[in-house]
């Protein structure tokens, strides 16, 4: 039951993922971020380039993560700022990193807006404790208009 009288809209298809836009809305207990439960939809990307100082290039561009704001958040890296360098590549800039990264390393990113991101994939991998438990097809993939 919603706490605001008269509201009946429940976004059961979106809020379960808890994307960056939902997190920034805040909650009853925290005006800054929604922290009642963790995000469940992430995209795994691979580092392609670490040549430039305080900059990483990934294989996750606008097609993988959309151009919605806020941009995706890198799990475990608070100072990373993502920018879609192109459709296929993303560029992450940072002041500090929690560890040293090299080409081939993986980054897990919380998606900016779940609806358009899910629309770009054929399937979702359901993972628990680093193990794939199920693969769910996205039947309506590409049919968003």
pLDDT mean across residues, the chain: 87
Q: What are phi and psi of 65, to 5 degrees?
A: -130, -5
7 inside domain: no
76 inside domain: yes
Considering its fold, how many domains does the chain have in total? Answer: 1
pLDDT at residue 85, as a whole number: 83
10 inside domain: no
Q: Which helix (H) or strand (E) holds 44?
A: strand 42-49
Whether 2 has a pLDDT exceeding 60, the answer reads no
Residue 80 in tokens:
């990373």
CATH number for the domain spanning 54: value is 2.40.37.20
Write the pLDDT tens digit of every residue in 47-69: 999 999 999 999 999 999 988 88
Bridge partner residues of 136 (DSSP): 124
9 inside domain: no
Is pLDDT larger for residue 142 or for residue 86?
A: 86
pLDDT at residue 3, as a whole number: 67
CA 54 and chain centroid, separation: 21
Q: Are 75 and 40 in contact (CB under 8 A)?
A: no
Q: Are 126 and 138 in contact (CB under 8 A)?
A: no
Whether 99 has a pLDDT exceeding 90, the answer reads yes
5 inside domain: no
Whether 4 has a pLDDT exceeding 80, the answer reads no
60 inside domain: yes
83 inside domain: yes
Bridge partner residues of 58 (DSSP): 47, 90
Coil, strand, or helix at residue 126?
strand
13 inside domain: no
Angle at 50 between CA 49 and CA 55, to 5 degrees: 105
Give the domain range for residue 54.
42-137
């Amino acid at each position: 039951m919603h706490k605001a009288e008269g509201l009946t809209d429940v976004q059961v298809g979106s809020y379960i993922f808890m994307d960056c836009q939902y997190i920034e809305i805040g909650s009853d207990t925290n005006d800054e971020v929604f922290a009642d439960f963790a995000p469940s939809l992430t995209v795994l990307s691979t580092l392609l380039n670490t040549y430039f100082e305080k900059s990483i290039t990934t294989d996750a561009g606008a097609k993988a993560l959309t151009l919605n704001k806020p941009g995706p958040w890198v799990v475990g890296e608070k100072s990373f700022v993502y920018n879609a360098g192109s459709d296929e590549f993303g560029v992450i800039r940072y002041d500090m990193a929690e560890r040293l990264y090299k080409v081939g390393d993986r980054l897990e990113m919380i998606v900016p807006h779940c609806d358009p991101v899910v629309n770009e994939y054929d399937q979702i991998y359901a993972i628990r404790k680093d193990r794939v438990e199920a693969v769910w097809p996205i039947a309506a993939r590409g049919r968003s208009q």
